[in-house]
Amino acid sequence: MSDRTVLHVKGRILAGPEDVRDELWVVDGRISYDRPAAARDIRTVSGWALPGLVDAHCHVGLGAHGPVDQDVAEKQALADREAGTLLIRDAGSPSDTRWVDDREDLPKIIRAGRHIARTRRYIRDYAWEIEPADLVAYVAQEARRGDGWVKLVGDWIDRGVGDLAPSWPREAIEAAIAEAHRLGARVTAHCFAENSLTDLVESGIDCVEHATGLTEDLIPLFVSRGVAIVPTLVNIATFPKLADGGESKFPRWSAHMRRLHERRYDTVRNAYDAGIPVYVGTDAGGTLPHGLVAAEVAELVTAGIPPLEALSATTWGARKWLGRPGLDEGAAADLVVYEQDPRTDVRVLANPLQVVLNGRVMQ
């Protein structure tokens, strides 16, 4: 398809939960709902079109042992693109992926800088590992390096107690989040356990990743503060294996991880039912492969979120939350076309018919 070709997408254009149209046009890489005058070279694609999918917890440039080289990072981004993920919130990466911004064939990335963790309280070579006295300075540094987000590690296993425990004292969290907000950045945090959540939410955090420790008594606090969660259920599915691996050394931690896993669907459903915003994230990178966005949407439906709302969590709703356009007039043409209606069965998302990025058909 040449740069002069006009793309005509027809069938059902799902521009929003209640905004369904019959066709759109792509001219010079941009969306138009008006047929262009004197268009000659037209390529037509038919099906059900959605805005490019969003993976709101994804790590391009991160491997099992820390940063990866550019060739590996490129393959990660391509795997996401082939799955229909065209917008990524990179929730922590030790690699510099700014080069991706110059590639019109790769997904757009919103970066959160590098994870910020307590010393020896996270996966080796993933994060800046610091003490509380330095937290504000590192948050300021990553706020300036990122694209409006900062990522904290809110809890991790404390070897002294043999279980998950909060990483930061309350006063350090309050000061750090205040500094990020002063610099115009939102803050999110990795959290598995229950006892790390109150201090983070009351200190003004904007989002919690995983949130497996979200209990009934904590839900009203999240609702009142408008704190979103990104459950990463495809990652939580690995908890039993992790627990088995740590059983002999940390039996208390292993038992805790199994409990969090067992109630994972109830946790997500209760959060959704209470009005907590829930978004799709896969935690790809590290030990999980890229391209799992369809599986995560299906997991949200399994947890009890209605299919249309699960679609919103990776399309219209997620893009609005991140401040990026969907299938709006004049927006960059980032969309995915399917043979069947994904509103009827979200498993359709696993088989894109066409992926269009910046107005170009990628497959």
Tell whether 42 and 71 lie within a shared domain: no
51 in Cβ contact with 335 (< 8 Å): yes
Is the model's pLDDT at 40 over the cut of 80?
no
Tell whether 317 and 335 lie within a shared domain: no
Tell whether 299 and 334 lie within a shared domain: no
Tell whether 143 and 29 lie within a shared domain: no
**Cα distances (angstroms) measured from residue 230 to each of 31, 174, 199, 211:** 29, 22, 18, 7
Question: Is the residue at 249 inside a domain?
Answer: yes
Tell whether 81 and 36 lie within a shared domain: no
pLDDT score recorded for residue 86: 98
Tell whether 121 and 256 lie within a shared domain: yes
Assign residue 84 the CATH number of its domain: 3.20.20.140
Is the model's pLDDT at 1 over the cut of 70?
no
Tell whether 121 and 154 lie within a shared domain: yes
Is the model's pLDDT at 64 over the cut of 80?
yes
Question: Is the residue at 1 inside a domain?
Answer: no
Separation between Cα atoms, residue 224 and residue 75, nearest integer Å:
41
pLDDT tens for 227-276 read: 999 999 999 999 999 999 999 999 999 999 999 999 999 999 999 999 99
Question: Is the residue at 60 inside a domain?
Answer: yes
Assign residue 27 the CATH number of its domain: 2.30.40.10
Tell whether 292 and 352 lie within a shared domain: no
Tell whether 33 and 168 lie within a shared domain: no
Tell whether 336 and 227 lie within a shared domain: no
Is the model's pLDDT at 2 over the cut of 70?
no
- Which residues constitute the domain of residue 12? 6-50+326-361
Tell whether 233 and 92 lie within a shared domain: yes
Separation between Cα atoms, residue 25 and residue 28, nearest integer Å:
10
Q: Dump the DSSP string for 61-114.
A: TEETTEE--HHHHHHHHHHHHHTTEEEEEE---SS--GGGGG-TTS-EEEE--S
Tell whether 186 and 249 lie within a shared domain: yes
Q: Domain tally for the chain?
A: 2
Is the model's pLDDT at 310 over the cut of 70?
yes
